[in-house]
Structure 1
Amino acid sequence: MTLPSLLVRDEHARERMDDPHCDPRRLARTYASFRLVNAAVAGWRLAYRRHLRPHLRADGPTTLLDVGCGGGDVARALARWARRDGYDLRVTGIDPDPRAHDWARRRPPVAGVQFRRALSSELVTGGEQFDLVVSNHLLHHLSQEQLDGLLEDSARLAHRAVVHSDIRRGRLAYALFSVATWPLFPGTFIREDGLTSIRRSYIAPELRARVPSDWTVSTPGRFRLLLLHDALAPARR
C-alpha cells in the first residue's frame, strides 16, 4: 500500500456515496454499516459525556439538532445514552439527501428521535431553535462558503452549545483505516469513501484558520477534531 503524503488537504477528492447516481444497493449497505464504523472511530461517547451531557436539563426535555445526519445512527445513539442517564433528549436529525432521509426514517423508531429532510438554513429561516447542535463527519464535505454558512446557522440555532465532530487528517489514520477495513464491509463504500474522507479532512491549525475566533478547535484524540461553540459565553469583541 502506497500512502499519499497528506501534507495538503485534498479538497477536490469526491466520495462515491455523494454521487446521486451511485449504486443504491451499495449505498444502502453503507448506511447500514455506519453504526459500526461510527461506534469504532467517531468518539461520540466521549463527546457526549464531555460536551453534551453537562447541558442536559434534569427538569424537562432538552432539544438537539443533528445536521447532515445521514443514516441517523448518531442521533439514535445520543438519545439512547441520554435516556439511560435519566434525561429526556429530543433529537431532530436533518439531511437534504432524500436517500439518507428515506433510510433514516425507515429504521426502527427510537423514542425522542425524528428525521426531517432539510437544510440548516431552512430551519434558521423558519425561526427554529434547539438547545444543542451537532454534526458528524460533515465539515470535510464542505467548501469554505458552505462551512461559513454552517457555522453561522449553528450559532443561530443553538441556545447552549454546538459540537461538530470530524476526522483529523494523518498518515497513521489513513494506514490504519485502510488495513482495518480491507477485509470488512464488502459491497459498501466504507473503505473507499473513508480514505477519501481522510484526504479531505483538516488538521487542527488548518481548521482554526478557517473559523471565527469564537469557535474552538479541540483534538480529543490522535484521529479526531471537535469544533466547539459555547452559545452561553459572552460574545468576543
Structure 2
Amino acid sequence: MTLRERAVGLTEIMDDPACDPVRLAATYRRFGAVNRLVSGWGTVYRARLAPLLRGLGRPARVLDLGSGGGDLLVRLDRLATRDGLDVQWTGADPDPRAHEAALRRPASPRIRFVQSDSTALLAAGERFDAVVSNHVLHHLSPEALAGFARDSLDLATGSVLHADIERGRLAYGLYAAGVLPLAPGTFLHTDGLRSIRRSYRVDELAAALGDAWRVDRPAPFRVLATGAGRA
C-alpha cells in the first residue's frame, strides 16, 4: 500500500447499497463522536462560519450537502445557539439510508433533513446564506466533483465551505489506532482508512477544483475548500 497517490479505485463498504444495515446504522450513530475528534469543525465554525452568520444581522439559512446521518448539523446548531445566532439548518443527502439515520436523531426545530441532492435543490429554487459539507469530496468522481462544486456555489449567497480529511501517513496511522475503541460493530475502521487513501492533499484538491476556490489546511490532517457563493 502507498499513500503517494489517491486510491481512486477503492470503494467504502457503506457506499454499497447491499451492506449490512445494522452495522451501517451503528456507523452513522458513531460518526458524531468520530467527527468531533477528527473533523476540525470547531475551528472552521469559529473562524469561517460564525463571523459570516453574525455579520448578516438577520436569521440565516445554512445547507449541509451530503449530510449523512446529520451529526455535523447537530453540532453546528449547538455552537450557533450557544453564540446567540438564529440559524435554520438544512441537511440534504440523496441516500435514503442516510436520510433515515438523520431523521432518527433527536429533533430540533431549527434543523430539517431532506432526501435530495444539489441539482434538485437548485431546481426547487432553494438558496442559502452558506453551504457546507464534510467528508464528501473524496467520494466523488472528477465529473461529480465538478458538478457538486458548481452547484454549491450556485446555491449560496455567501460562503461555501467543503471540509475533508487530508491523505498522509501520519493521519492514516493515528486514525487506524485511535478509532479502534469506537469501531466494533461498525464500518468505521475499514471505511475510515479507505477514505484517507481516497482523499486529497491541498495541492491536489486546489488543482481539481480550479480558480474559483481557495484550498488550505485549517487543522492538522484537514483540507478546506472555500468558495464565494454566486446565487
TM-score (norm 2): 0.96
Q: Does residue 25 of the first structure (1) align with residue 22 of the second (2)?
A: yes
**Residue identity (%):** 50
Report deviation, 1:128: 1.2
CA distance in 2, matches of 1:84, 1:127: 30
Note the alpha carbon deviations across 1:40-78, whole angstroms, 9 max, x for none.
000101000111001114642100000000000101111
Q: Tell me the number of residue pairs that the alignment of Structure 1 and Structure 2 aligns.
A: 229
Match of 1:48 in 2: 45
Structure 2 counterpart SS, 1:221: coil
Note the alpha carbon deviations across 1:83-138, whole angstroms, 9 max, x for none.
11000111000000101101111211123100000011111112210000000000
Q: Does residue 10 of the first structure (1) align with residue 2 of the second (2)?
A: no
Out of 34, 38, 41, which is 1:37 matched to?
Answer: 34
Q: Which amino acid aligns with 1:192?
A: T
Structure 1, unaligned runs of 5 or more:
233-237
Q: Which amino acid aligns with 2:32?
A: R
Kept in 2, the 8 Å contact 1:79–1:111? The answer is no
- Mapping for residues 120-139 of structure 1, pairs under 5 Å: 120-139=118-137
CA distance in 1, matches of 2:47, 2:215: 14
Q: Does residue 156 of the first structure (1) align with residue 154 of the second (2)?
A: yes
Q: Which amino acid aligns with 1:62?
A: A
Kept in 2, the 8 Å contact 1:66–1:133? The answer is yes
Match of 2:210 in 1: 212
Kept in 2, the 8 Å contact 1:132–1:159? The answer is yes
Out of 197, 202, 208, which is 1:199 matched to?
Answer: 197
Q: Which amino acid aligns with 2:65?
A: V
Q: Which amino acid aligns with 1:163?
A: L
Structure 2 counterpart SS, 1:209: helix
Note the alpha carbon deviations across 1:26-45, whole angstroms, 9 max, x for none.
00100010000000000101
Q: Which amino acid aligns with 1:33?
A: R
Structure 2 counterpart SS, 1:115: strand
CA RMSD of aligned residues (A): 1.1
CA distance in 2, matches of 1:143, 1:200: 11
CA distance in 2, matches of 1:68, 1:180: 25
Report deviation, 1:169: 0.1
Match of 1:189 in 2: 187
Q: Which amino acid aligns with 1:48?
A: Y
TM-score (norm 1): 0.94
